[in-house]
Chains A and B, each alone.
Chain A
Amino acid sequence: MLLVLLVVVVLNFLMLHLAPGDIADTIAQTMGGADEQDMAELRKQYGLDQPFFIQLFNYVVRVALLDFGHSHFYNLPVFDLIMERFPATLLLVFSAQILSLFVGILLGVYAAQNPNGLSSLFVNMFSLFGYAAPVFWTGILLLIAFSLHIPIFPVSGMRDITIESGNFFVHFFDVLRHLFLPMITLASIFFAYYSRLCRASMLEVLGADFVRTAKAKGLSKKDVLLKHALKNSLSPVITFAGLSFSAVVSGAILVETVYSWPGLGTLAFNSIISRDTPVLLGILIFSTLMVTVGNLLTDLTLKALDPRIKI
């Protein structure tokens, strides 16, 4: 775990260091120009005038002391910046994951009942739609449809700041309204994965002995399907969900860009194009930790589903 983190840090530090240009150029851009003393001063201030290994060493030592440093661009502590954006990303990623799992499993179960029928084909096609269409493209089309032509959803951001009410539910529904389109867009990528995995493992389980026994015992079709088959076919789906976390985060970057969602994805994107190394590394370390936590949760869920699994 720590080793992985160290590799993440060193590799990305090196790559951003070698990429052309640095933060002083970016700051000159936002200024509309700068002179060489200013730029030299900026580089000195951020330690960019020192040899690469000293910069790297200083950074690693600071991170080891749990100090992520300051953003070169915003002049704010990286930790504060991440914490400011983290809830938005967490909300988006988790709600999309849950939605896609829910819909995916539902579709998968439905398709498994009649694996070669027309409905199965239809489900397959429907779920493939989100997989095959570029996610930003789906996002923009949804935005045009439901913010412009039928204006029921807001166009950007996570909340309406003009709401003065202190009522929790007013704010809750406001966030929900803002979340709806980004969530659907992000979830749509994964419908296909989950529904197909679920269908396949359902088919496998439905052919297994214990299901046949349950059927023979005279349990209703619904009971067999939900109590026995589904429970046993969930583990590959959930395993996959745990593994696909980094893909969800990648998708979130595009979705956040389309909907101006104030999350970590856009912050990470900007930190790359502005060479704000501490922010990028901070986000990478943070997301590595998040994925690890996500995997742990996956394992726990699997264990809950099937007590035989040892962690």
Chain B
Amino acid sequence: MLENEEIEEPTIKPVKEIFQTFFKSYSAVTGLIILIGIAVMGFIGPIFYPTDPFDMVWMPFSPPGADGFLLGTDYLGRDILSQIINGARVSIAIGFSAALVSCFIGVGIGSFAGFYGGWVEETLMRITEFFQVLPTLLFAMVIVALFGSSVLSITLAIGAVSWASVARITRSEFLRIKELDFVLASRSSGSNNMALIFKVILPNAAAPIIVQSALLVGAAITFEAGLAFLGLSDPNVISWGQVIGSNRVYILDATYTVTFPGVAIFITVLAISLVGDGLNDALNPKLRSR
């Protein structure tokens, strides 16, 4: 690739080409379809399946299929199918907003570090290092202990501890791109630093950041489940993690109460990573030739 120095210009691929590459991959398309299906289930499903996930509708621990409850009932006789449907919305929302928070912090820190260099970079990368070194789960637990176990604080806690990888990637992309010709050109044409960072360099660094953030969505969903397993979840909101966390003690006898939300998380995270792979292949200019 070194011999092609003259094509070192904006590396954004045409949108059409991105779509083409993405949709050529069966696994990426499958992942996307599953993901859309789950999102549709979460947002529109309650209209077609109106059972309130908090209502005690039947005997507790009615096994799946029996008595007209497809996935059975939980320890209070609440419909697990309804919990899975309604939980989809919350889990996906937590996943995306936590990833968004991470992305926001990570891109902010990474871009400034990469762009300015010097002591700014030194300081910011120290902070990043600190978040990379800390066991994230512990740190998130401390945050939840401090702000209480509401959906908001759990989401923020997940976002606040998982941005280090985004920051690193953003920084290295910035370090690479800021020396390229088109950046130097627009710098000499008088663009100010903010414009350079957000309008010129960031769009060109977007591809790996998007891929990494997509993976963070999946990671955030399992992270939330992990916190719920340790007892940190919001009982006023049905999320898959919350369902697992509160049914955890019944796992031996009523395994299905934990299996179904577990499978839901599994499928969703799998779909997200398939989409992530697809995005990676489609957005990564290096792979164009293969």
Asked if A and B touch directly (CB within 8 angstroms), the answer is yes
Q: Which residues of A approach B to under 8 Å, CB–CB?
A: 3-4, 7-8, 12, 15-16, 18-19, 121, 124, 128-129, 131-137, 140, 144, 148, 192, 203, 243, 246-247, 249-251, 253-254, 257, 268-269, 272-273, 280, 283-284, 287-288, 291-292
9 contacts between A and B (CB under 8 A): A7-B127, A16-B145, A128-B270, A128-B273, A134-B226, A134-B244, A137-B258, A192-B273, A254-B226
- Min CB gap A237→B, angstroms: 16
User: Are A132 and B273 also in contact (CB < 8 A) when A4-B130, A246-B132 are?
Assistant: yes
- Min CB gap A160→B, angstroms: 23
In the complex, B230 has a CB within 8 A of chain A: yes
> Are A253 and B138 within 8 A (Cβ)?
yes
Partner of A246, one of B27, B136, B273: B136
Which residues between 234 and 254 of chain B lie within 8 Å of chain A, taking CB atoms? 241, 244, 251-252
Among B100-108, B184-192, B201-209, B261-269, the one that faces the other chain is B261-269
- Min CB gap A190→B, angstroms: 13
In the complex, B278 has a CB within 8 A of chain A: no
Q: Which residues of B approach A to under 8 Å, CB–CB?
A: 27, 126-127, 129-130, 132-139, 141-143, 145-146, 218, 222, 225-226, 229-230, 241, 244, 251-252, 255, 258, 262, 265-267, 269-270, 273, 290
Partner of B142, one of A19, A133, A243, A287: A19
- Given contact pairs A3-B126, A134-B262, a sample of 12 additional A-B residue pairs in the complex whose CB atoms are under 8 Å apart: A7-B127, A15-B145, A16-B146, A128-B270, A133-B269, A140-B251, A144-B255, A246-B136, A253-B135, A257-B230, A269-B141, A291-B132
Closest 9 A-B residue pairs measured CB to CB? A250-B137, A132-B269, A249-B135, A132-B270, A137-B262, A134-B225, A19-B146, A19-B145, A291-B133
Nearest residue (CB) in A for B221 is A134
Q: Which residues does chain A contribute within 8 Å of B226, judged by CB atoms? A: 134-136, 250, 254
> Are B229 and A136 within 8 A (Cβ)?
yes
> Are B145 and A134 within 8 A (Cβ)?
no
Partner of B273, one of A131, A268, A269: A131
Partner of A4, one of B129, B135, B142, B143: B129
User: Are A287 and B135 also in contact (CB < 8 A) when A15-B142, A15-B146 are?
Assistant: yes
- Min CB gap A220→B, angstroms: 25
> Are A134 and B222 within 8 A (Cβ)?
yes
A186 to B126, CA, bound (A): 28
Q: Which residues does chain A contribute within 8 Å of B269, judged by CB atoms? A: 131-133
A272 to B266, CA, bound (A): 29
- Min CB gap B126→A, angstroms: 6
> Are A272 and B141 within 8 A (Cβ)?
yes
Q: Which residues does chain A contribute within 8 Å of B139, judged by CB atoms? A: 12
> Are B136 and A250 within 8 A (Cβ)?
yes
User: Are A250 and B135 also in contact (CB < 8 A) when A121-B27, A132-B269 are?
Assistant: yes
A291 to B131, CA, bound (A): 12
> Are B244 and A8 within 8 A (Cβ)?
no
Nearest residue (CB) in B for A4 is B130
- Min CB gap B245→A, angstroms: 10
Partner of A133, one of B129, B241, B251, B262: B262
Q: Which residues does chain A contribute within 8 Å of B145, judged by CB atoms? A: 15-16, 19, 272-273
Nearest residue (CB) in A for B26 is A121
> Are B266 and A284 within 8 A (Cβ)?
no
> Are B229 and A134 within 8 A (Cβ)?
yes
Partner of B265, one of A134, A254, A288: A134
> Are A247 and B136 within 8 A (Cβ)?
yes
Nearest residue (CB) in B for A18 is B146
- Min CB gap A202→B, angstroms: 13
> Are B225 and A246 within 8 A (Cβ)?
no
A250 to B265, CA, bound (A): 19
A288 to B129, CA, bound (A): 10
A121 to B135, CA, bound (A): 32
> Are B138 and A272 within 8 A (Cβ)?
yes
> Are A254 and B230 within 8 A (Cβ)?
yes
> Are A133 and B266 within 8 A (Cβ)?
yes
- Min CB gap B219→A, angstroms: 9
A128 to B269, CA, bound (A): 9
Nearest residue (CB) in A for B127 is A7
User: Are A253 and B229 also in contact (CB < 8 A) when A133-B266, A137-B262 are?
Assistant: no
Partner of B252, one of A144, A203, A253: A144
A293 to B38, CA, bound (A): 43
- Min CB gap B276→A, angstroms: 10
Partner of A8, one of B134, B146, B218, B266: B134
A292 to B20, CA, bound (A): 44
> Are B142 and A246 within 8 A (Cβ)?
no
> Are A133 and B265 within 8 A (Cβ)?
yes
A256 to B27, CA, bound (A): 34
A250 to B132, CA, bound (A): 12
User: Are A132 and B137 also in contact (CB < 8 A) when A3-B126, A243-B132 are?
Assistant: no
- Min CB gap A248→B, angstroms: 9
> Are B262 and A288 within 8 A (Cβ)?
no
Q: Which residues does chain B contribute within 8 Å of A280, judged by CB atoms? A: 138, 142
Q: Which residues does chain B contribute within 8 Å of A284, judged by CB atoms? A: 134-135, 138
Q: Which residues does chain B contribute within 8 Å of A124, judged by CB atoms? A: 27
Q: Which residues does chain B contribute within 8 Å of A249, judged by CB atoms? A: 135, 138
> Are B255 and A254 within 8 A (Cβ)?
no
Partner of B218, one of A15, A132, A254, A292: A132
